[in-house]
Structure 1
Amino acid sequence: MDSIIFDLDGTLWNPIDTVLSAWNSILKEHPIVQRELASEDFSQTMGLQIQEIGRLLFPSLADEEREQLLKECCALENEHLGNNGGELYDDIEIVLKALSEKYKLFIVSNCQDGYIEAFYKYHGLDPYIIDYENPGRTGLSKGENIQLIMERNDLCSPVYVGDTDGDREAAKFAGIPFVFARYGFGNAAAYDHEIRKFSDLLELF
């Protein structure tokens, strides 16, 4: 094993409270939606791409209306996250620092462009991460973005760490082992390894 590729939401942090604040601020300006989002709404969308999230949360909107709403929500979300951050899971920096001394570390998340940068801006963890990718920049699936990171950085034997079955499928698509973060938002039908807290990675690797 030469590297570890991380999912972000549900694996490194929980951003829901900050994201909710941003999205509900935008929804108040769009009476056509007539709803306020709760944390449960976002919990069921973790791991999905933004278009899928939009269809799930706002199924009654026309495509053009939904696209404009999502654009506004994501822009304010990035701003709020950059200024306020999210809830990091326990010992994240300690573990990332230790792992970075042995392995190359990366992030691949199903988020919009600017989201990972906001994570870096507030929490300052980018010195431990060599490269990152997301569909907001590439338009690719998570599995394809994992492959892109592997090719771009000449990785031979990475593992992927995530918290949903979509993460498992992405790792399988890329042909690499999957480490299931059970403390996160989702479930996984199968996995190669399991962690119950982030620091378990130090024992696993």
Structure 2
Amino acid sequence: MLTKPDSLIFDMDGTLWDAVDTYAHSWNVMFEELGIDKKVSRQQLSGMVGWEGKKVVEVMMPDFEPEKRWEIYGQVNEKRKVLIPQMGGILYDGVKEGLAQLAEKYQLFILSNCAAGVIRQFIDWAGIDAHITDEIAYGINFMPKQHNIKLLADKYDLKAPVYVGDTEGDGHQSRLAGIPFVFVSYGFGQTNDYDEKFDDFKSLTDYFLNL
């Protein structure tokens, strides 16, 4: 059992929602606009959820020079900012209600390997702004999650944060940051290295409310 935390830091994609269809559409629209003969499927992109942007662009555009990859990636992310409010995603069952309940007991944060601005769009789309203390994205400083976990901990003087995510990478970064990792099995990844595991968000909510 976990020692009672003072805060919960959530991954976004695969933990709070599934927006892979919107993300794939943003890539495909941009490729079409730029005249690039390439199409990304949901299956391809779902396997990259949680990756840092640098790794995504290397796999997505191996034939392009690094500078060109980042240029296109920037355009994709701008397109995404237009599409997310229109298309949204699938909020996992129990997330909205659960965050409202958890926020009465813990400080809640969102930390994701996404581009700058995307977490804020998700928060606005999901209507959860009142429950989230702060957020930080990879696109803010291009640093790994372990670094950004420590930034949040320092900024808010967190004594016992816990990271909640859905991939092996999330667990690895939590270990590097020196904090417990809670795995949600309904997302995009698999791992056996976790301190607690939940198969749905309601179970996670109930556990932390009763801790």
Coarse TM-score class (shorter-chain normalised): over 0.9
Taking only the aligned residue pairs, the percentage that are identical comes to: 37
Q: Which runs of 5+ in 1 are unaligned?
A: none
Indicate if the aligned counterparts of 2:57 and 2:69 stay in contact, CA closer than 8 A. Answer: yes
| Partner-residue secondary structure (3-state), 1:132 | strand
Please report how far the alpha carbon of residue 204 of structure 1 lies from its aligned counterpart in structure 2 after TM superposition: 1.9
TM-superposed CA distance for 1:165, in Å, is: 0.8
| 1:20 to 2:24 alignment | yes
Q: 1:123 to 1:202 in 2, by over 3 A?
A: closer
Gaps of 5+ in 2: none
Q: 1:112 deviation in Å?
A: 0.7
Q: Per-residue displacement from partner, 1:45-73 (whole Å, max 9, x unpaired)?
A: 11111111011111111112211111110
User: Matched residue of 2:77: which SS?
Assistant: helix
* Partner-residue secondary structure (3-state), 1:23: helix
SS in 2 for 1:28: helix
Q: Is residue 178 of structure 2 the alignment partner of residue 179 of structure 1?
A: no
TM-score (norm 2): 0.93
User: 162-171 or 79-88: which moved more?
Assistant: 79-88
Aligned partner of residue 155 in structure 1, secondary structure: coil
Measured on the aligned residues, the alpha-carbon RMSD in Å equals 1.1
Partner Cα separation in structure 1 for residue 164 and residue 22 of structure 2 = 23
**Length-normalised TM-score, structure 1:** 0.96
Q: Of the candidates 21, 43, 49, which is equivalent to residue 52 of structure 2?
A: 49
Structure 1 counterpart of 2:9, from 1, 5, 10: 5
State the match for 2:131 in structure 1: 128
Separation in 2, partners of 1:74, 1:185? 21
In the alignment, the residues of structure 2 paired with residue 30 and residue 84 of structure 1 have an alpha-carbon distance, to the nearest angstrom, of 22
Shift of 1:143: 0.7
Deviation at 1:121, TM superposition (A): 2.3
Other-structure match for 1:86 = 89
| More displaced 10-residue stretch of structure 1: 99-108 or 83-92 | 83-92
In 1, distance between residues paired with 2:49 and 2:194?
A: 18
Q: Cα distance, 1:201 vs. partner?
A: 1.1
1:153 maps to 156
Question: Is 1:196 the counterpart of 2:192 in the alignment?
Answer: no
Amino acid of the structure 2 residue aligned with 1:120: I
The 1-side partners of 2:137 and 2:149 are apart by: 9
Deviates more, 1:82-91 or 1:151-160: 82-91
Report the count of equivalent residues. 204
Distance in 1 between residues matched to 2:126 and 2:98, nearest whole Å: 14
Larger mean Cα displacement after TM superposition, 76-85 or 45-54? 76-85
Moved over 3 A (4+): none
Partners of 1:78 and 1:50 in 2: how far apart?
16
Partner of 1:59: helix, strand, or coil? coil
Q: Identify which of 96, 100, 122 aligns with 1:97.
A: 100
